Amino acid sequence: MKVTIHVQYAISNAKNFPSKPDFKLWVNTTLVGYPKDTQITIRIVDSQEMEDLNWRYRGKKGTTNILSFPIGNDSTTSHKIPLGDLIICAPVVAREALDQNKDEKSHWAHLTIHGVLHLLGFDHQYENEAQYMEAKEIDILKQLGYPHPYEINSEYL
């Protein structure tokens, strides 16, 4: 399996955000066992762009931390199959990390993994789905050396 990742920094001061190698590590670790060559686009945006996208595609006002747009291509050819796009709102990630006493980079990793799982068809609308998806996230983050994302980490208090 080969994954091509396109990262778009559509926000100023992008030097403070995860690098393309960070995103590549997080995405590749999440896709272990995924049998197809694929590509993912990750776009880092400001609050205004996220608010516009959240309204346009979900009918919800305000910002959110991440939106995922699966392509849903069932092609069986040997060409790269676009898995989908992830849109991540940098100001929301920073605020959530601060509010939840989390290391910001580990929060970026968590949201990226969460988004990739959505692109693969995982969901959390029902309790059993949420438990399964969260267990996958926890396992992947642990493999990468990041803390449990759903527990408050006293190290950052």
Does residue 75 have a pLDDT over 60? no
Q: Which amino acid is at 89?
A: C
Tokens coding 156 = 């950052």
| CATH number, domain containing residue 116 | 3.40.390.30
d(CA 88, CA 130): 20
The answer to whether the predicted template modeling score (pTM) of the entire model surpasses 0.95 is no
Helix (H, G, I), strand (E, B) or coil at 15: helix
Range of the domain at 59: 3-156
Does residue 46 have a pLDDT over 90? yes
Show the DSSP H helices in 101-157 as ranges: 104-119, 127-143
Mean pLDDT of the chain: 90
3-state secondary structure 22-89: HHHHHHHHHCCCCCCCEEEEEEEECHHHHHHHHHHHHCCCCCCCEEEEECCCCCCCCCCEEEEEEEEE
Task: Convert the pLDDT of each residue in 78-120 to its tens digit.
Answer: 456 889 999 999 999 999 999 999 999 999 999 999 999 999 9
Domains of the chain: total = 1
Does residue 157 have a pLDDT over 50? no
